[in-house]
Amino acid sequence: MPDDAFDALRAQLGGTAPDALRRLSAAELTHLSQAIRGARRRESKALAQAGERALGHIPRLLRGPVRKIVG
Amino acid sequence: MSRAADLLQGHGEVLKLARLLGREPDELAYLEQFSPPALRELRDGVTKTLYDSDGGSLQRLAAATRVLPAGLTATLGQRAFGPLLSARLAGMLEPGRAVDVAAKLPPPFLADVAVELDPRRASELIAGLSAGLIADVTAELVARREHVTMGRFVGHLHDAALIAAIGAMDDRALLEVAFVLEDRSQLTRLLSTLPRARVAGIIGAAAHEDLWLQALDLLNHLSRPQRRAMVNATLALGEPARTTIVQAIVDHDLWQEAALIAKHDDTLPATLSDALRSLPARRRREATEAARASGLQGV
C-alpha cells in the first residue's frame, strides 16, 4: 500500500516527508526508505571503524584520555 | 524560472540527493518528476537524518579531538576518519579550532570533504577560512567539475573568499555554479562581484558549450546594467551565436527571458518570428501566445 510505504519513509526521516512524494508508487517509496536506511548503516559502520583506526594514530600517552571521552 | 530550467534544477537536486545516499543518480530517476523545492525539502530531511543518526558518537569524537594538537587532528582526518566523517565532524568542532585543522590539510582532501559537507552546519568554519585556501579548494573542485558542491558554498563565503573563489573558476564553471546555486538570493551578490570581462566570458562559454538555458536563466537575476552588458556580449559574438540563442529560446520556451533581452535588442522579436515560422502550426500558435503573454511584443 502506498500509504504504508509513505508512512515508513516518513518514519525514516524522523516524522516529516514532503507530501508531494505521496505520488510515488509503493515500490519507489520503499526503495527510497531502503536507500536512506542503507546510508545510515554505512555511516554508522564507517564511524565505528574510524574510531578504532584513529586510536592507532594517537600517541600512547593520549589514548587513555581520548578513550575516556569517546566512551 | 522556465519549465526547462526547473527540470534542470530538479535534476541537480536529484544528483545532490544521490550523492548524499551513496547511490547512482539513475536509481533515483523517479524523483525527477518533483519540483526543486519539494526535492530540496526531501534532501534537507535526509541530511538531518544522517547527521542526527550518529550525533552522540560524533559529538564524543569531536570532544576527544579537543585534547589533541590541530596537526594530529588533521592527520586523523586524513588517515582515520576520511572525507565523509571529517565532513560530519567539521561542524561539531569549535570554529576557530576547525579553521586551524583545515589550514593543515591539503586542498585535494578539503575538496573531498567539501563534497560531503552540509555547509549550513559548518558556516562559521567556512567563513573563517582564508581567501587563499578557498581559492585552492575551488580550483580542485573546478578541475573535478563539482559545480553542485561549489553552488552549495557560495552563500557561506565572506566577500574576499567569494572573489577568490570566482577567480579560481573558469567562465564555464562560473556559469554552471551560478545556475545550481543553492541559495538563489545569492545570485545578485555573486554576479555583482563580476568584472565586465567575466560577463562576456560567461556568454562566450554559453555559446561554445551550448549552455544558453543556464545563461538565459541568469537574466532574471541580473541588474539592468549587467543585463545590458550580457546582451551586448551576445551581440558581439555575431550571427552564429545569435542563431543558437534564438533556437534555445524557442526549444525551451524561454519567452520571459526573451522579453528581457528584447528591451536591449529591438531586432529580436523579428528574428524570433522568423524562427517560429519553421514550427508546425499548433506549436507555432502556442509559442506565439506564450511569447505575447510574457510581454514580448512584435512576435
Among the partner-chain residues A14, A56, A58, the one whose CB lies closest to the CB of B68 is A58
Provide DSSP, chain B: --HHHHHHHHHHHHHHHHHHHT--GGGGGGGGGS-HHHHHHHHHHHHHHHHHHTHHHHHHHHHHGGGS-HHHHHHHIIIIIHHHHHHHHHTTS-HHHHHHHHHTS-HHHHHHHHHH--GGGSHHHHHHS-HHHHHHHHHHHHHTT-HHHHHHHGGGS-HHHHHHHHHTS-HHHHHHHHHT-SSGGGHHHHHHT--HHHHHHHHHHHHHHT-HHHHHHHHTTS-HHHHHHHHHHHHHT-HHHHHHHHHHHHHHT-HHHHHHHHTT-TTHHHHHHHHHTTS-HHHHHHHHHHHHHTT-TT-
Cell of A71: 566512551
The Cα–Cα gap between B255 and B257 comes to 5
The reply to whether B21 touches chain A by the CB within 8 Å rule is: yes
pTM surpassing 0.90? no
What average pLDDT does chain B have?
90
Residue B2 pLDDT exceeds 80 = no
The reply to whether B160 touches chain A by the CB within 8 Å rule is: no
Instruction: Please report residues of A whose CB lies closer than 8 A to that of B34.
Output: 18, 20-21, 23
Angle at B188 between CA B128 and CA B98, to 5 degrees: 10
CB contact under 8 A, B79 and A57: yes
CB contact under 8 A, A56 and B80: yes
Q: What is the pLDDT of residues B201-235, one digit of tens each?
A: 999 999 988 899 889 888 877 888 888 888 888 88
- Quick one: DSSP state of residue A19? G
Give the model's pLDDT for residue A38.
96
The reply to whether A69 touches chain B by the CB within 8 Å rule is: yes
For A9, the enclosing helix (H) or strand (E) is: helix A2-12
Residue B161 pLDDT exceeds 90 = yes
Q: What is the domain partition of chain B in residue ranges?
A: 202-299
Residue B1 pLDDT exceeds 70 = no
The reply to whether A11 touches chain B by the CB within 8 Å rule is: no
> Which positions ≥6 away from B177 have C-beta within 8 Å?
B147, B150, B151, B154, B169
- Quick one: DSSP state of residue A17? -
Among the partner-chain residues A16, A23, A54, the one whose CB lies closest to the CB of B80 is A54
The Cα–Cα gap between B196 and B168 comes to 17
CB contact under 8 A, A36 and B46: yes
Instruction: Please report residues of B whose CB lies closer than 8 A to that of A47.
Output: 54, 57-58, 61, 85
The reply to whether A38 touches chain B by the CB within 8 Å rule is: yes
Q: Tell me, what's the ipTM? A: 0.88
Instruction: Please report residues of B whose CB lies closer than 8 A to that of A66.
Output: 64, 67-68
Query: Are B97 and B66 within 8 A, CB to CB?
Result: yes
Residue A69 pLDDT exceeds 80 = no
